[in-house]
Amino acid sequence: MLEKFLQEIGLSEKEAALYLALVQVDNASVIELSKKTSINRSTVYVVLEALMKKGLATEVPIGKKVHYQAEAPERLSTFIERQKVMLEEHSKRLSDIIPQVKGLQREQGARPVVKYFEGREAALNSNLDFFNSEDKEGIGFFLFNRDLIEEVFSQKEIEDIQKIRPGRSIKGQSLYVGRTTLQSNEMTERKKIDGDKYPVLCDVSIYEDRIQFVTLGKKISSVFIQSKDVAETLKSLFRLAFDNLSVGK
């Protein structure tokens, strides 16, 4: 239990084992610690160095030899506070780091990310989570069957999803089929297509480097793809259809 707790607050498995071994004695040599923990001597030196940097162990001169002892258990509170401060600092820097990491992905031709989910709740959550918290402005592209959406989701659930884009100033272009005619507004330009001639059996969303397909038949499922190349290709196909379709057809 103690060893597991120490690992949960940030110590490695070997650091936790050595710290607990030191707590049980006044002081100990590297050889003694190696025997007590079954960690080889060369590794014990490395782990002790790490514990000292964390403020949890210290060197003790015994004659001409160097032994080690554990700092008081109260030092664990100090260690946790330092961890909290570091996490807060990392959290502040994260907004600057994420775009840099994304830039590296683009430069290296990142491998597409593909995720698959089953069930109505998963489909609803994927729709709600499709836009990242940092997303703002831009334009999304959407292809959907309004009738099928209304069969699967409640009016409130549909409204909750529809609130996301306007709240982040993300405009949209939509192609849709359905009995009802949906009017365009300042946020979304909509064009209706002939569902008999061009059946639409799933909901498709494209934004930045992300694509989402949600099947709305008897077996509801969601497929999420993150790939700049795939997204840009699908955007081109969407624009081709959208630009060559008259409003109201």
- Which CATH number goes with the domain that contains 197? 3.30.870.10
The predicted pLDDT at position 138 comes to 84
Per-residue pLDDT at 38 = 93
Same domain, 182 and 140: yes
* Domain assignment of residue 141, yes or no: yes
Q: Are residues 27 and 81 in the same domain?
A: no
pLDDT tens profile 50-67: 999 999 999 999 888 999
Count of the separate structural domains present in the chain: 3
172 falls within a domain: yes
Q: Indicate the pLDDT class of residue 105, thresholds 50, 70 and 90.
A: low
**Which of 102-111, 130-139, 222-231 is predicted least confidently?**
102-111
> Is position 95 within any domain?
yes
* pLDDT tens profile 200-242: 999 999 998 899 999 988 889 999 999 888 999 999 999 999 9
Assess if residue 249 is contained within a domain: no
Q: Which of 37-41, 81-85, 86-90, 120-124 has the highest mean pLDDT?
A: 37-41
Same domain, 175 and 58: no
Q: Do 235 and 167 lie in a common domain?
A: yes
Same domain? For 152 and 185 the reply is: yes
Asked if 190 and 126 count as a contact pair (C-beta separation under 8 A), the reply is no
State whether 67 and 24 are in the same domain. yes
Judge if 197 and 179 occupy the same domain: yes
Q: Are residues 97 and 117 in the same domain?
A: no
Give the structural domain span for 65: 2-73
Q: Extract the tokens encoding 57.
A: 């162990």
Report pTM. Answer: 0.55
Report pLDDT for 67.
Answer: 95
Please state the rounded mean pLDDT for residues 82-86. Answer: 88
Residues 147 and 219 in one domain: yes
Q: Worst-scoring range by mean pLDDT, 13-17, 31-35, 57-61, 100-104?
A: 100-104
CATH at 24: 1.10.10.10
On whether residue 248 sits in a domain, the answer given is no
Q: What is the pLDDT of residue 89?
A: 87
